[in-house]
Amino acid sequence: MNKDENLIRKLLALNDERSKEFARLELERKCWTDIRPTKIIVFECMDGRVNFPLSVGLPFGIVSSFRSMGGIFDLGIPYFAKTLNTIVRKSLAEGRDGLLIVTYHFSKGDKHNGCKGHNYDTDSAKLSAEKFCAELKEVFAKGKVYPIVLGIETDEDRFIVESSFLEKLPKTVRKDLDYLLSENVKRANKLIRTEKEKQHGENIVAVGTGFDWFHSYNQSLIIGPWHYDLNASVVTAANIVLFNLKEKRISESDGLFLLCGAVPSGSSAIELSFAKKEAKALSGHCVKILETSVPEIIPHLHVLAGITNPKTRKFLPVL
């Protein structure tokens, strides 16, 4: 077995472990939904140090997360709007209110450990989150859907929410959010991150959908297909993992990965075929971006495309 095959097998073995974990936690997810019915949808940066479910101790699969560079989203993008609307409508049909959490992040210790997508400018990141939150409020004004802005200080993994957002929430939604905030406080109070852990340490650039099985900190930069132009996001993420390698934040034996994926809309042969085509096309597009804009990464890069089964989180490579 060559080095490339061994690294890919290790990655697929990790997915296998996470898929089994997802199955084990089925009852826990059901109990959570029964007790706390609010549907949580989070908008996050691609940054691997930001992971809302881990910050509050939730098993993956409860929170629906959208990721992009800088946590920047555009409701005018049809695919993004359709995907978000589908999740919201399904939740409302189940009688569940929706809590849409728009995040921004920063580092109190070193601004350069903050959000590269906003040039390490916390004010810019916060203003962007507030603008998007206002757009969500406008779109969902007539539904039981409540957008708020939440800051994440990544040195301590601590949440910041302005009281003005909390005051406007219905009691049931506020109760569920209060629980999440209290769990974050407990975890943040116990967390002690080293200087190395406060910095980027990812070795994977994941582009597409179906990547919540990367349920760990600082392992992957996840870029959702929520923009017309992915170039800037893919280039930025590639430069981050390449820098991590050069600075020995990760070892050569870990490998650098470009992982491109899609989630089938159903289980039929046609739907699976479409998803496979999407993943392969996305992979080819991203490789071309990197060959042109970050050619230095190519000798170190392992490329894998695949589809994720939404019911099992099992990742199936596409050849």
Place of tokens 């189940």: 94
Q: What is the pTM of this model?
A: 0.96
35: Cβ contacts below 8 Å, ≥ 6 apart = none
Q: Which residues pair with 145 in a beta bridge?
A: 98
62: left (phi over 0), alpha (psi -120 to 50) or beta: alpha
CATH number of 36-197: 3.40.1050.10
Query: What are the pLDDT tens digits along the chain (319 aa)?
Result: 355 788 899 999 999 999 999 999 999 999 999 999 999 999 999 999 999 999 999 999 999 999 999 999 999 999 999 999 999 999 999 999 999 999 999 999 999 999 999 999 999 999 999 999 999 999 999 889 999 999 999 999 999 999 988 988 999 999 999 999 999 999 999 999 999 999 999 999 999 999 999 999 999 999 999 999 999 999 999 999 999 999 999 998 889 999 999 999 999 999 999 999 999 999 999 999 999 999 999 999 999 999 999 999 999 999 7
Please give the structure tokens belonging to residue 266.
């159903």
Closest-CA residue to 45 (of 154, 162, 155): 154
Domain 1-25+200-319, architecture per CATH: 2-Layer Sandwich (3.30)
The residue type found at 228 is: Y
d(CA 297, CA 193): 29
Please give the structure tokens belonging to residue 213.
């099985």
Please give the structure tokens belonging to residue 148.
């708020």
Task: Tell me 164's DSSP state.
Answer: H
Query: What is the structure's pLDDT at 3?
Result: 58
Query: What is the structure's pLDDT at 117?
Result: 95
Task: Tell me 38's DSSP state.
Answer: P
- Cα within 13 Å of Cα(193), Cβ side: 23
Q: Residues of 273-290 as b/e, b for ≥16 C-beta within 10 angstroms?
A: ebbbebbbebbeebbebb
d(CA 217, CA 281): 28
Q: Which residues pair with 317 in a beta bridge?
A: 306
- Cα within 13 Å of Cα(148), Cβ side: 23
Where would I find the beta strands (DSSP E) of the chain? 39-45, 64-68, 98-106, 145-153, 158-160, 204-208, 220-223, 256-262, 301-308, 315-317
Query: What is the structure's pLDDT at 210?
Result: 97
The burial of 293, by beta-carbon neighbours within 10 Å (0-12 exposed, 13-18 middle, 19 or more buried), is given as: middle
Q: How many CB atoms lie within 10 A of CB 162?
A: 12
Residue ranges, CATH 3.40.1050.10, the chain: 36-197
CB of 103 closer than 8 Å to CB of 150: yes
Radius of gyration over alpha carbons of the chain, in Å?
19
Give, rounded to a whole angstrom, the gap between the first and last alpha carbons of the chain.
18
Residue ranges, CATH 3.30.1330.140, the chain: 1-25+200-319
Q: Strand pairing of 220-223 and 158-160?
A: unpaired
Angstrom CA distances, 240 to 117, 220, 245, 246, 265, stand at 11, 11, 9, 10, 32
Q: How many CB atoms lie within 10 A of CB 34?
A: 8
Task: Tell me 76's DSSP state.
Answer: T
